[in-house]
Amino acid sequence: MAMTGLLRAFLLAVAVAAPLCGAVQASERGARAEAFVAALTGEALAVIADKTMKPDTRHRRFAELLYRDFDLHWIGRFVLGRNWRAAEDDQRAEYLALFAETIVFTYSRRFEAYDGQMVRVTGHREGKRKKYVFVFSEIYDPEGAGPVISLTWRLFAEGEGFKIADVAIEGVSMGIAQRNEYASVIQRNGGRVDALIAAMRTNLERLRADG
């Protein structure tokens, strides 16, 4: 009888511990995800805020961060949406290259307007299927004056670290916005991916020229 009692206690302990293990694992992942975002935003702000850096260098450093922490291939495919399947291999390759550069140039345009804002991470949440982790953060003005802007990051685990799949500003997903836009461009050009690629090329040149 004592043995059965012991066995029962052991089984109970295991049964309870098992879900707890999962929970501990999840929150540990969440904490790592928050640290990941905090580190990235810290590095990015350091690059942006450094007025002594030459524009070329700053642009290059920013691009490095982007390529390192964002899964640009995944995002590019998501943005292209259903048209990815219709695209040929060489179209896909060119699209992804243009996409990555467009992202870098689009966001690095805003460097000049930087005005001392900071970013703080405020929390996280696991996605429904445990595939994604959402990290919540805010852009705020340390002076206290301007509006507080919420940034939500969607991450998935890659090896020991993470990759960013999407960023939402005040609930507006940048990935979805771009996806809707590219779908519209393709649709208005008879469903041709080539038309999108041409438009991206023109746009990129313009962004480059603007400096």
Partner 1 sequence: MRAIATGSPSGRFAAGRAGSLLRGAALACFVSLAGCATAPDRPIEGAADPLEGVNRAVFALNDGFDRAVLRPVAYAYKEAVPGAIRQAFGNFLRWLRSPVILANDLLQGDLEQAGVTASRFAINGLTVGLADMARDFGLRHRDEDFGQTLGVHGAGEGFYLVLPLLGPSSLRDAAGTAVDAFFLDPLNRIRAEEAGWRLAAARRGAEGVDFRALYFEEVDDLRASSLDYYARVRSIYLQQRRAAIHNGAPPLDESLPDLSEEFDLPAFGGGEKAWAETAPPDEGTPREEGAAAEIVEPEPEAAETAAAPPAAAPPAAEAGEAPPAPAEDTQIAAAPARGVHLASYRSRADAMKGWRVLSGKYPDDLGPYEPEAIRTETGVGLFTRLYTAVGAPEPALSRLRDRIRAGGDYAAILAVPADGMGGRWR
Nearer to partner 1, 40 or 72 (CB): 72
Smallest gap from residue 28 Cβ to partner 1 (A)? 20
- b/e burial code for range 188-204 (CB count within 10 A of at least 16 → b): eeeeebeebbeebeeeb
Q: How far apart are the first and last CA of the chain?
A: 81
**116, two tokens:** 């001392």
Residues 122-151 within binding reach of partner 1 (CB under 8 A): 125, 127-129, 131-132, 134, 145, 148, 150
- Based on its alpha-carbon atoms, the radius of gyration of the chain, rounded to whole angstroms, reads 22
Smallest gap from residue 74 Cβ to partner 1 (A)? 7
Residues 3-42 within binding reach of partner 1 (CB under 8 A): none
Nearer to partner 1, 44 or 199 (CB): 199
Q: Are 168 and 151 in contact (CB under 8 A)?
A: yes
The reply to whether 106 sits near partner 1 by the rule CB under 8 A is: yes
The reply to whether 176 sits near partner 1 by the rule CB under 8 A is: yes
| Candidate residues 68, 109, 120, 208; the one interacting with partner 1 per rule CB under 8 A | 109
What's the rounded Cα separation, in Å, for the pair 53 and 47? 8
Tell me the DSSP string of 45-109.
Answer: HHHHH-TTS-HHHHHHHHHHHHHHHB-HHHHHHHHHTTHHHHS-HHHHHHHHHHHHHHHHHHHHG
- Binding positions for partner 1, rule: CB under 8 A: 71, 73-74, 77-78, 81-82, 84-85, 89, 92, 102, 105-106, 109-110, 113, 125, 127-129, 131-132, 134, 145, 148, 150, 152, 154, 158-159, 163, 165-166, 168, 170-173, 176-185, 188, 196, 199-200, 203, 206-207, 210
